[in-house]
Amino acid sequence: MEIILAQESVADLKKWFTSYVQTFKYKDIELQRNIDLKKDHTRRVCKEILNLGEQLGLNDDALRLAEIIALLHDIGRFEQYARYKTFMDGKSENHAELGVKILEKHEVLKQFDEATKDVILRSIQYHNRASLPRGETETCLFFTKLLRDADKLDIWKVVTDYYHRKDEKRNGAIELDLPDTPGFSEEVYRDLINKKIVDIKHVKNLNDFKLLQIGWIFDINFKPTLRYIKERRYLEMIRDVLPKSKEISEIFDIIHRSFVN
Ligand SMILES: [Fe+2]
């Protein structure tokens, strides 16, 4: 698919994004902080996707498309939080599907041709799925992969900053309201030693959730992403806040063996 996108279309969409997000305003500091968290996350995912795209040699039009996809990928988060006060899809609704509905309702993509619109909406729709879609076009699959890598890079930043924060204050929105109980689930351990991403159904406590974040390494699509993960020491930073145990060491041995090059 040939991608042609004017520079102004990115600028216009950034303006739309800013004014849309401004409609979600809270006096409550906690609520506003979680809106800001997603706004800042979006800004950084845009940077990550451009970085990755440049390293993969994308041309300017493809980079613009990538940036638009990153800019809009979590648009459903704001309405989700307004309606349900949680970012947990299982307890509210799927934020990716909600995002697509919002973009359609506000006719945000009306300036694009059908094929371009389709790639944007589908990449967004697929970004939070457990695995990649099958039977998609090469272009759609590529941008879906790129978004998923860029998104994970920033979620790792958010959670590692959080786990190593100086104040002890907890944020249920980041921890998905999971209990911080000792130990971790057998099923989570089993997913990881089988080099599989962790099934969200197996996640029962905060340690399980940390392990799920470790397991994203098995769902990375591009070499530059892996390099960033190593350079930024994301997995080590999560390991630091997990219990010291034989099973956890085993998981890390498997990861190190899988990703040495
Ligand atoms: Fe995201």
Q: What is the pLDDT of residues 44-100, one digit of tens each?
A: 999 999 999 999 999 999 999 999 999 999 999 999 999 999 998 989 999 999 999
205 phi, psi to nearest 5 deg = -140, 180
The answer on pLDDT for 33 being more than 80 is: yes
Query: If pLDDT is split at 50, 70 and 90, which confidence band does 128 have?
Result: very high
The answer on pLDDT for 8 being more than 70 is: yes
Average pLDDT for the chain: 95
Alpha-carbon torsion (73, 78, 153, 248), positive or negative: negative
Average pLDDT over residues 173-182: 91
Q: What is the pLDDT of residues 134-149, one digit of tens each?
A: 999 999 999 999 999 9
Question: What is the whole-number distance in angstroms between the Cα of residue 55 and the centre of ligand 1?
Answer: 21
| Confidence (pTM) | 0.95
Average pLDDT over residues 103-131: 96
Question: What is the whole-number distance in angstroms between the Cα of residue 96 and the centre of ligand 1?
Answer: 9
The answer on pLDDT for 251 being more than 80 is: yes
- pLDDT at residue 13, as a whole number: 98
Question: What is the whole-number distance in angstroms between the Cα of residue 152 and the centre of ligand 1?
Answer: 7
The answer on pLDDT for 260 being more than 80 is: no
Ion ligand 1: residues, Cβ under 5 Å: 74, 151
Question: What is the whole-number distance in angstroms between the Cα of residue 245 and the centre of ligand 1?
Answer: 31
Query: If pLDDT is split at 50, 70 and 90, which confidence band does 261 have?
Result: low
- Residue 25: exposure state from Cβ atoms within 10 A (0-12, 13-18, ≥19): exposed
Cβ atoms 189, 251 nearer than 8 A: yes
- pLDDT at residue 173, as a whole number: 85
- pLDDT at residue 4, as a whole number: 87
Diameter of the chain measured on Cα atoms: 55
- pLDDT at residue 208, as a whole number: 98
Alpha-carbon torsion (172, 178, 133, 44), positive or negative: positive
